Amino acid sequence: MNVAEPITIGLLGVSSVGAQVARTLVEERELISARVGTPVRLAAVAVRDVENPRDWRIPESF
Residue 62 pLDDT: 57
Rg (CA), the chain: 13
How far apart (Å, rounded) are the C-alpha atoms in residues 38 and 55? 29
The yes-or-no verdict on residue 7 having pLDDT over 60 is yes
Confidence of residue 61 (pLDDT cuts 50, 70, 90): low
Cα separation values, 17 from 6, 21, 47, 54, Å: 24, 6, 13, 11
Q: Does the pTM of the predicted model rise above 0.85?
A: no
11-58, pLDDT tens digit by residue?
998 888 888 999 999 999 999 999 999 999 999 888 888 788 877 776
The yes-or-no verdict on residue 1 having pLDDT over 70 is no
